[in-house]
Structure 1
Amino acid sequence: MIGFVFPGQGTARVGMGGWLRRDPVAAAVVARADELLPEPVSELCARGPLAKLVDTLHAQPAVTACNLAALAAVRAAGVEPDLVAGHSVGEISALCAAGVLDVDTAFRLVGARARLMADLPVTGGMTAVLGLTPQRVEELAAEAARPGEPLVVGLENAPDHTVVSGAAAAIDRLVASAEAAGARKVVALKVGNAFHSPLMAGALDGWAEAVRATPMSPPRVPVIPNATAEPTTDLPTIVDALIAQLTARVRWTETMRVLAGAGTLVEVGDSKVLAGLLRGVGVRCASTSDPAVLRRLRRPEPAA
């Protein structure tokens, strides 16, 4: 069984997608992204500037363009997934791999998501806490929160790697308590806002409208939504989870436990972040950012 995983916004960097622009099949997908998105992403990926590339409005479409270009290259090698998942905005790429969305629709949907989130006022941020369990971090976040200053677990990336998301003042309080509780490391993330938290609620109605207006097909293979971490082929469940994901926790640790049952795992995109997280829990995962991976995946031609 082959599982595909797709990275999210945090993997955007200048120079991303270089090998994809050199592959004819993948390059055609990047060119299509440039045609459909409000602003072309290929030049931005190649040369930056970094500040513009990592901005939410551009980072989400740029990462999605690389993800779907890599997906096209893997498919051209004759490989299809039996199970898919995507981290945060990577879930849109996973839905494309599962046949729920076509490529054009995926680009339009991610453009809408990026715009809705970028239009919100910046009211908070995100901070990674390493060395404590998600349960302990959740307790500390609840203690640090105040009325009008929410703080929640936004991402469960690994058993000892949790990201909190919420109001800046609440994050300041959590940093002190997490260090006192024995956290190995506490790092502020360079993101535009408090994603996957109640502070994204202002975009939720617009996002729900965009998702429900998007043409979708039943998945050909199971999808593991971030909000549930449970494989499903039920389209209404997938739609509801995709909407909820904007403010809900990304349950990646639970997702990795499900993915561990796949015989082969491939991070599809120009990133090794998810492969690293999976290796951290003892699960092997290749990445298409390594050119040798495609050669290993390529199915041999039938014997004459």
Structure 2
Amino acid sequence: MIGFVFPGQGTVRVGMGGWLRRDPVGGAILRRADELSPEPISALCARGPLPRLVDTAHAQPAVTACNLAALAVLRAKGHKPDVVAGHSVGELSALCAAGVMDVDTTIRLVGARARLMSALPETGGMASVLGLSVERVEQLAELAAAPGEPLVVGLENAADQVVVSGSFAAIERFTAAAGEARKIVALKVSNAFHSPLMAGAVDGWAEAVRSAPLRPPEIPVIPNVTAEPTTDLATIVDALIEQLTGRVLWSRTMRELAVAEHCVEVGDSKALSGMLRTEGVRCVSMAAPTALRTLAALVAT
């Protein structure tokens, strides 16, 4: 059994997608992303500038283009997943891998998601909290929140790695109160994703998702907001819409993926591979040009 996992927006960097651009199959996907995007994505991935690349309007399409290029390379070599999951915006790439949507639909939907989210007022941010349990972070976030200044757990990345998301003022209060945390790091993001502050984009996002040509998945998908494998299209659609403001249950998703013999991080990132290794799951990252040889050896054994 093999699982494909797809990274999200936080993995963008200048130079991403390098070897995938040089691959005939991967390069074709990146050129298609350029054609369907308001401005060339591949050039932005290759050369930046970084402030423009990390902007939500560009970061989500950039990550998705690299994810889909890596997926195309794997498919060309005959590798197929038995289960898929994606981290935040990476969930759309996972749905493409499961056959829910084709490449063009995925690129267009991610573009719509990015535009809707980037159009919201920048009233909040996110911070990674290390060394505290989810339950303790929830308690502190509730104490730090105030009317009009929400703060919630946006992502459960691992047992002791939680991301809070919400208003800047609430994050400041949280940081001051969370002295027992090993480390708190402000994330370089343009807003408070996976929090109530994204509510203004939900209606537009729901309309975009429900009007897209979607099909039932060919294999199980593990949505972020449920962390439970499903092949029910209605469940997948509802979860994809809810994900905009809902919590990413990645630590629980990894436990579901632990039944796989090995996983592949499908994109130019090693972030999810590192997380999965903490759960004892072998994961090959497509960030390395040698990934195909490594994966072939694993499959052979």
**What TM-score results when the alignment is normalised by the length of structure 1?**
0.96
* 1:109 aligned residue: 109
Checking the alignment, whether the CA contact within 8 Å between 1:6 and 1:86 is kept in structure 2 is yes
Separation in 2, partners of 1:176, 1:283: 35
Separation in 1, partners of 2:126, 2:57: 17
- Where does structure 1 differ by over 6 angstroms across 4 or more consecutive aligned residues? none
Pairing of 1:55-66 with structure 2 (within 5 A): 55-66=55-66
For residue 5 of structure 1, give the secondary structure of its aligned residue in structure 2: strand
Separation in 2, partners of 1:263, 1:298: 13
Separation in 2, partners of 1:161, 1:9: 17
Separation in 2, partners of 1:153, 1:62: 26
Checking the alignment, whether the CA contact within 8 Å between 1:78 and 1:298 is kept in structure 2 is no
Q: Which moved more, 1:281-290 or 1:255-264?
A: 281-290
* 1:167 aligned residue: 167
* 1:126 aligned residue: 126
* 1:267 aligned residue: 265
* 2:212 aligned residue: 214
For residue 291 of structure 1, give the secondary structure of its aligned residue in structure 2: coil
Over the matched positions of the two proteins, sequence identity in percent amounts to: 73
In the alignment, which of 233, 246, 249 is matched to residue 248 of structure 1?
A: 246
Checking the alignment, whether the CA contact within 8 Å between 2:192 and 2:198 is kept in structure 1 is yes
For residue 3 of structure 1, give the secondary structure of its aligned residue in structure 2: strand
Separation in 1, partners of 2:197, 2:60: 18
Separation in 2, partners of 1:283, 1:296: 15
* 1:302 aligned residue: none
Size of the aligned set, in residue pairs, is 297
In the alignment, which of 230, 233, 237 is matched to residue 232 of structure 1?
A: 230
Pairing of 1:180-219 with structure 2 (within 5 A): 182-219=180-217
Checking the alignment, whether the CA contact within 8 Å between 2:284 and 2:295 is kept in structure 1 is no
Checking the alignment, whether the CA contact within 8 Å between 1:77 and 1:297 is kept in structure 2 is no
* 1:135 aligned residue: 135
- 1:147 aligned onto 2:143: no
**Structure 2 gaps, min length 5:** none
* 2:278 aligned residue: 280
- 1:31 aligned onto 2:23: no
Please report how far the alpha carbon of residue 298 of structure 1 lies from its aligned counterpart in structure 2 after TM superposition. 4.2
Checking the alignment, whether the CA contact within 8 Å between 2:261 and 2:281 is kept in structure 1 is no
Separation in 2, partners of 1:295, 1:26: 17
Please report how far the alpha carbon of residue 292 of structure 1 lies from its aligned counterpart in structure 2 after TM superposition. 1.8
**Structure 1 gaps, min length 5:** 300-304
For residue 111 of structure 1, give the secondary structure of its aligned residue in structure 2: helix
Checking the alignment, whether the CA contact within 8 Å between 2:52 and 2:58 is kept in structure 1 is yes
For residue 5 of structure 2, give the secondary structure of its aligned residue in structure 1: strand
* 2:21 aligned residue: 21
RMSD: 0.8
